[in-house]
Amino acid sequence: MQWAPFFFFSLLPFSSTFLAEAAGPCTAIKGANKGLVLGVYTTEKDEKAAQFTKAGDAFDRVVSGKLKELLSVSGPPLKKGKARIFHSLHQNFSSVVVVGLGKKGAGVNEQENWNEDKENIRAAVAAGCRQVQDLEFPYVEVDPCGDPQAAAEGAILGLYEYDEFKQKKKPAIEVQLHGSDGVEAWQKGLSYAQGQNLARTLMEGPANHITPTRFAAVIEEKLRSASSNVTVHIRDRAWIEAQEMRSFLSVAKGSEEPPVFLEIHYHGSNDAKEAPLVFVGKGITFDSGGISIKPASGMDAMRADMGGAATISSAIVTAAQLKLPINLIGLAPLCENLPSGKANKPGDVVKARNGKTIQIDNTDAEGRLVLADALDYAHSFNPRAIIDAATLTGAMDVALGSAATGVFTNSHQLWNQLFEASIVTGDRVWRMPLYEHYTKQVTESQLADLNNIGKYRSGGACTAAAFLKEFVTAPHWAHLDIAGVMENKDEVPYLRKGMAGRPTRTLVEFATRLSQDKKSI
């Protein structure tokens, strides 16, 4: 084996346009066009000394210490989340990318409410894989970095970019585990990340392509390929009318696209009678605001107003792929919110499935109208718990930005489980209040039992949650307002700019934990 003294390094990850495919442990592929990503820690005693991971140390021994030597002379100590690339070190790899993992054993950061080691691995691996992606190599092997699941998530999430309608596409890059340690955890990480990427794909899809009908068809196809233990019902307008979901239908009537009520069942528990966990997702495949029309600027992003439906459906697809021993039900009222001669008008009154009447004073507060009927229907299944997810309010974005999903819940046990799950995934949640103070603002209505907007502009996310609470009697319910985490600009380093698909992985981790703890809720 010969070693070439030439090397090249970069501190910034590159961008690209092609998708990542996932694979299990690698089989040796010799020759050019294959990259290797290896991790290195920051050491407190000697910042200039590289402390490689187990895989990094093994590789450095194979190349007679040349990697450590090159790293030491290539510049200042490698900071976390940054990458440097070296060429011609080994016959099996055209390039080796070393990525900064930060301090070893950082653990859970209680101030940040996440596991810092896992987040550092995700960010570093994503940066390294993008370097390989920029070289247009068809393969990359990834160091498990002590946490194969986090490494797999970083790779698959970091390489994803939506390019379905672009003519110029680059070939996919196959991601492989370097070595054979942690295969099961690696596969779990691939499933988690692919689930989030499914949600991202649905959310990015143009509204003329991801219609209510098409959305339901995509999820049905994914579920049927994931598991045989699934039942999918694509309910039409006649069924919706028979269920007296007038609140949902009032939003749908403004569009020519027919509404769909998607109902999916995953039967994972050995006990067929075990109470299911029910996920409910807002499915507005395009939201113009209706008669209370939104400003034109930025309205294109409202193709992702079905983010709640996308994340809960993708979470169930992932649970089915993982064969989680739990019963799950997903409910997604799907429609468009458009202005027309048939659309809701400010001041209209409709009756929901549970008999309560609603005064619609703002047609752009439509998400709560479609969720109201879906939440009431969710009680039909005697649920273990109900969780709804929705890009519901701009006020949530103002309150928390993209740092965390806002959670409103009537259950401390449910909150604790969601919170613990989010620490593991790094896709954080933050509890918000459900005070009677907010309930009064939506129940004091001039014409009906409820008003779809609060009396005051303040606390918009809270009054929206209070409105939904009027359709819930279950003792364990949580409402996730995901408006603030709908898109990613540059806040999450292992996600490119675009629709984020958050918090899919947190929902999957939550379901995983409930499947293992039958008594917690």
* pLDDT exceeds cutoff 90 at 7: no
* pLDDT exceeds cutoff 50 at 14: no
% of the chain surpassing 90 pLDDT: 88
Query: pLDDT value at position 160?
Result: 96
The residue annotated as part of the active site, out of 170, 294, 431, 518, is: 294
* pLDDT exceeds cutoff 60 at 16: no
Q: How far is CA 173 from CA 28, 34, 132, 159, in A?
A: 16, 10, 9, 9
CATH class of domain segment(s) 20-181 = alpha beta
Query: pLDDT value at position 75?
Result: 87
Query: pLDDT value at position 32?
Result: 62
% of the chain surpassing 70 pLDDT: 93
* pLDDT exceeds cutoff 90 at 19: no
Return the higher-pLDDT residue of 159 and 32.
159
The residue-averaged pLDDT of 301-312 equals 98
The SS3 assignment for 290 reads coil
Neighbours of 230 (CB within 10 A): 20
Asked if 394 contacts 295 with a C-beta cutoff of 8 angstroms, the reply is no
What does pTM read for this prediction? 0.93
> Could you read off the pLDDT of 352-378 as tens digits, one per residue?
999 999 999 999 999 999 999 999 999
Query: pLDDT value at position 103?
Result: 93
Query: pLDDT value at position 343?
Result: 98
* pLDDT exceeds cutoff 70 at 65: yes
199 contacts: CB under 8 Å, gap ≥ 6 = 307, 310, 311, 313, 314, 499, 501, 504
What would be the CATH architecture of the domain defined by 195-516? 3-Layer(aba) Sandwich (3.40)
Query: pLDDT value at position 8?
Result: 32
Query: pLDDT value at position 124?
Result: 98
Of 515, 392, 362, the C-alpha closest to 461 is 392
In 26-172, the DSSP E strands lie at: 34-42, 51-52, 83-90, 93-103, 108-109, 114-115, 139-142
Asked if 392 contacts 81 with a C-beta cutoff of 8 angstroms, the reply is no
Instruction: Decide if 351 is catalytic.
Output: no
Query: pLDDT value at position 46?
Result: 59
Read off the pLDDT band of 18 (50, 70, 90): very low
The residue-averaged pLDDT of 291-298 equals 97
User: What's the mean per-residue pLDDT of the chain?
Assistant: 93
Cα torsion at 239, 241, 246, 252 (round to 10°)? 70
The residue-averaged pLDDT of 265-272 equals 94
Residues of the chain with CATH 3.40.220.10: 20-181
The residue-averaged pLDDT of 36-58 equals 85
Query: pLDDT value at position 24?
Result: 44
Instruction: Decide if 246 is catalytic.
Output: no
Quickly tell me which residue has 């709560």 as its tokens.
Answer: 368
The residue annotated as part of the active site, out of 80, 368, 496, 505, is: 368
Residues 143, 178: Cα–Cα separation, whole Å? 5
How many CA atoms within 13 Å lie on the side-chain side of 266? 34
Query: pLDDT value at position 520?
Result: 83
Query: pLDDT value at position 171?
Result: 74
> Could you read off the pLDDT of 88-141 as tens digits, one per residue?
999 999 999 999 999 999 999 999 999 999 999 999 999 999 999 999 999 999
Residues 121, 343: Cα–Cα separation, whole Å? 49
Residues of the chain with CATH 3.40.630.10: 195-516
The residue-averaged pLDDT of 419-440 equals 98
The residue-averaged pLDDT of 237-249 equals 98
Task: Identify how many contiguous H helices and E strands the chain contains and give both numbers.
Answer: 15, 23
Query: pLDDT value at position 77?
Result: 87
* pLDDT exceeds cutoff 80 at 20: no
- Taking each helix axis from N to C terminus, what angle separates 460-469 and 436-443, rounded to the nearest 10 degrees? 80
Query: Would you state the structure tokens that stand for residue 21, as one six-digit string?
Result: 């495919």
The residue-averaged pLDDT of 327-349 equals 98
The residue-averaged pLDDT of 147-169 equals 95
Q: Burial letters for 488-498: b for 16+ Cβ neighbours within 10 Å, e otherwise?
A: beeebbbbbeb
The residue-averaged pLDDT of 427-435 equals 98
The residue-averaged pLDDT of 173-189 equals 96
Output the DSSP codes for 175-188. Answer: EEESSSTTHHHHHH
Q: Would strands 477-481 and 385-390 be described as parallel, antiparallel, or unpaired?
A: parallel
Of 101, 100, 133, the C-alpha closest to 11 is 100
Q: Which secondary-structure segment (H or E) carries 415?
A: helix 412-425
The residue-averaged pLDDT of 246-272 equals 97
Read off the pLDDT band of 390 (50, 70, 90): very high
Query: pLDDT value at position 28?
Result: 44
* pLDDT exceeds cutoff 80 at 189: yes
Query: pLDDT value at position 44?
Result: 65
The residue-averaged pLDDT of 392-396 equals 98
- Taking each helix axis from N to C terminus, what angle separates 412-425 and 504-516, rounded to the nearest 10 degrees? 120
